[in-house]
Amino acid sequence: MVRAVEKARPSVVNLRGQKTVREEGAAAREVNGMGTGVVIDPRGYIITNNHVVEGVRRIEVTLHDGKALVAHVVSTDPKTDLALIKVDADEPFEVITIGTSSDLMIAEPVVAMGNAYGYEHTVTRGIISSLHRTVQVSDAQQYEDLIQTDASINPGNSGGPLLNVDGEMIGINVAVRAGAQGIGFAIPVDNAMAVAARLMSIERIDRNWHGLVGKPVEKDGKHRLVVDKISEQSPAALGELKPGDVITSMGDVAVERPLDVERALLGRKAGEEVPVVVERDGKPLKLSLVLAAKGRNALPTEERVWDALGMKLAAINTRDLREQLTKYRGGLKVVAVKDDGPARKQGIRPGDILVGMHVWETISIDNVEYILNRPEINEIVPVKFYIVRDGETLIGRLPIVGATVTK
């Protein structure tokens, strides 16, 4: 137990704040709130209970070494009573080791850590008393599928980790029975981390989009993330990921669950290429995906390009650049052509790489947008285009729907 606590302690933080409480028939009053949080990403992302931070004007986070920082709320989920907050610091934070709640057993020994009654880094121990408990604490709040333990979980412990003997987090504590003796509850870690992934994605999707849906599975005692669905023409599809692939790493993050994908992509920008390693048919395969703008295909001007040129374009990955574009700095892959559009009529096919139009390179979608917006566009249609197919450069002239030929 000592080793388990020492392993987890650097990742457990104490939370304090002040909120205004308004009760029917009484004047509003200021109260000091307290709780606990757990670091789940080295950049300072912390998971805690929603009721700990709800309504708090200023959240003060105290680290294990006594350093105090101010946090802001990233996102909350009142239904599950979970919240994601973030603190900023010059050094990376130590991250809790995340276990699993899928193989818990009744009578298994556990440790609860937290800020009980304001006493920082309080540790209590006990066993798992029961599993899959439903607890109704108010008309507005019902917890489902909770872990029940006889380890003391008191006010201030909320949001702290429930640990197994290996120091792995197996649950997030919730103090739902004030004054209860020998009865405490925790949200199973698998449920909590699934919610954490959603909460983290709310911040990420404003910046980038990948287009894949992962399904967590457990095999041979290990967590694995299997690609379940892929949106058509999404970065994941264009990066050649397929349903059934097991994602083992993304960027520099080892992937075991959806939260890891969010951690790998958080802070990255649309247009950035991310290496991905998957396991397909039992063999490792290195791929990459180029992130797109929020909720869109890889092209912000997709509809306009489709209407004007009759083709859909996507950023190419490193492999295409290395294998096919030895003479050019880059290009855009043709992923679809409209049946009656200009591209098809000029012989352009899916798989071709557009490397230039007129006198301009087409390395990014911004280049195509620039060309379509040129004031002299009517003077240069049909536009000379350059594509690469099987390593060979082909040249043709492409009409632009909506442009008027003036020469």
Instruction: Show which residues are catalytic.
Output: 51, 81, 158
Q: Which residues contact 216 (CB under 8 A, 6 or more apart)?
A: 190, 194, 223, 224, 225, 226, 256, 257, 258
Of 55, 51, 117, 45, nearest to 87 (Cα)?
Answer: 45
Ordered DSSP codes for 258-287? HHHHHHHHTT--TT-EEEEEEEETTEEEEE
For 105, phi then psi, to 5°, come to -125, 145
Residue 209 to residues 20, 84, 212, 332, 368: CA-CA distances in angstroms? 38, 20, 9, 18, 21
Q: What are the backbone dihedrals phi and psi of residue 248, each rounded to the nearest 5 degrees, phi first?
A: -105, -25
Task: State both tokens at 107.
Answer: 């009578």
Cβ-based neighbours of 92, under 8 Å, separated by 6 or more: 42, 43
CA dihedral 63, 64, 65, 70 (to 10 degrees): 10
**Six token digits for residue 381:** 């249609």
Task: Return all residues near 150 (Cβ < 8 A) that are at least 6 apart.
Answer: 126, 127, 129, 182, 183, 184
> Beta strands of 108-221 (E only): which ranges?
109-114, 122-136, 142-149, 161-163, 169-174, 184-188, 212-219
Output DSSP code: residue 369: H
C-alpha to C-alpha distance for 236 and 229, rounded to whole angstroms? 10
Closest CA to 57 of 17, 85, 113, 96: 17
